[in-house]
């Protein structure tokens, strides 16, 4: 049985807002930067984890 008030609340940090130049410095070799009029998004080049493992070796 649980008592009230004992659950730990998770505190998520707010999303970081980068400008284009900061994103270009931040992204890794295995990622793409998708630029839209309203957003800057990063995406893995190889979405499947098995494909990423095969590409590393």
Domain ranges of the chain: 20-56
- C-alpha 36/C-alpha 34 separation (Å) is 7
Q: Is the pLDDT of residue 34 over 80?
A: yes
Average pLDDT estimate for 16-29:
83
Half-sphere exposure of 14 (CA within 13 A, CB side): 2
Phi, psi of 54 (to 5 degrees): -65, -35
Phi, psi of 3 (to 5 degrees): -100, 160
| Whole-number percent of the chain with pLDDT over 70 | 84
Residue appearing with tokens 């659950």: 7
- C-alpha 7/C-alpha 17 separation (Å) is 30
pTM: 0.48
Q: Is the pLDDT of residue 33 over 80?
A: yes
């Amino acid at each position: 049985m649980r008592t009230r008030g004992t659950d730990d609340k998770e505190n998520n940090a707010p999303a970081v807002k980068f400008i284009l130049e900061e994103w270009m410095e931040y992204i890794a070799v295995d990622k793409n930067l998708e630029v839209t009029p309203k957003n800057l998004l990063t995406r893995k080049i190889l979405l499947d984890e098995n494909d990423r493992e095969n590409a590393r070796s």
